[in-house]
Amino acid sequence: MSEPKAIKTTYREAVREALREAIIKDDRVFLMGEDVGHYGGCYAVSKGLLAEFGPERIRDTPLSELGYTGVGIGAALGGMRPIVEIMTVNFSLLALDQILNNAGTLLHMSGGQFNVPVVIRLATGAGKQLAAQHAHSLEGWYAHIPGIRIVTPATMEDARGMLWTALQDPDPVLIFENNTLYNMEGTLAENAGPVDIDKAMVRRPGKDLTIITYSASLFKALEAADTLAQQGIDAEVIDLRTLRPLDDATYLASIAKTHRALIVDEGWRSGSISAEISARIMEQGFYHLDLPVMRLCSAEVPMPYAKHMEEAAIPQVESIIAAAKRMVTHG
């Protein structure tokens, strides 16, 4: 049996193709959000979809995250499968009442009678000089909320495949797409389709150190691991993929082998997803550790605009390499 043909594409195009597939396959699916139609999306993800599918399926909304997120939740309750796009994760705070108090709680508050099958896509992360109101990584905040699922596609396959799987979930799913990944080029199988969203993945096997990360930081971790390998340090890289619910088993199995854990998280350190993972490692895998868990997170400041300051504020390849070397040397 021949291998499926690999096609050259970008992360942006992979997400767009996932949207196209969902709209074609299911009459209940539609995309709604600010500038998703005539403008083609703030990051050009939905470019061309309005002309292809019309305003019934690609709906421009007013600049009111609270309002149109509520409309999406209502549509989901009415039997539709809306995909709500929020331009940047910082703006999602304007819709937090809808996400937390309605989408996340209605199944519980209705005694299990009303599921809310809404998918919300959000651009997240720093690296594009978008400054403090447009560039934070708040997915760890949302992972704190019961009743919703948090997924963070990093690879081309996950960008293409997570959306359809999310649409099959009877409960709310938030998809965080790091804005620095949209221009990423790569290859994708021509028949690429839905992927599992329950499991973390070992993206690089190793025996000396476990690096746990997600989203755009995955590629920094992989680059760091390649450099470390040249220096005799064999790092295993775990892509969490889903932040709620966390797949504890995958990273705990890795730590049982390497005995060292480094968590790379673009969110702030205090109260972060890295803090949660560190606590779970201490609770479930303490006796596998040769030294304490180490975390690399963003500086606890509003994200700077100046490029050199923005780069200094978030984890980088060099800081991952330095942290890993300290851990292995001192271990």
Is 134 among the catalytic positions? yes
Rounded Cα–Cα distance for residues 171 and 148 (Å): 7
Helix (H) or strand (E) holding 134: none
- DSSP H helical segments within 43-119, as ranges? 49-53, 65-77, 96, 106-109
Taking residue 270's Cβ as centre, other Cβ atoms within 10 Å add up to 8
10 Å CB burial of residue 96 (0-12, 13-18, 19+) is middle
Rounded Cα–Cα distance for residues 71 and 60 (Å): 12
Nearest Cα to Cα of residue 285 among 256, 321, 307, 319: 256
Catalytic residue among 65, 177, 236, 310: 65
Rounded Cα–Cα distance for residues 84 and 114 (Å): 19
Residues 6+ apart with CB under 8 A from 329: none
Rounded Cα–Cα distance for residues 244 and 173 (Å): 10
Catalytic residue among 13, 85, 134, 177: 134
Catalytic residues: 65, 134
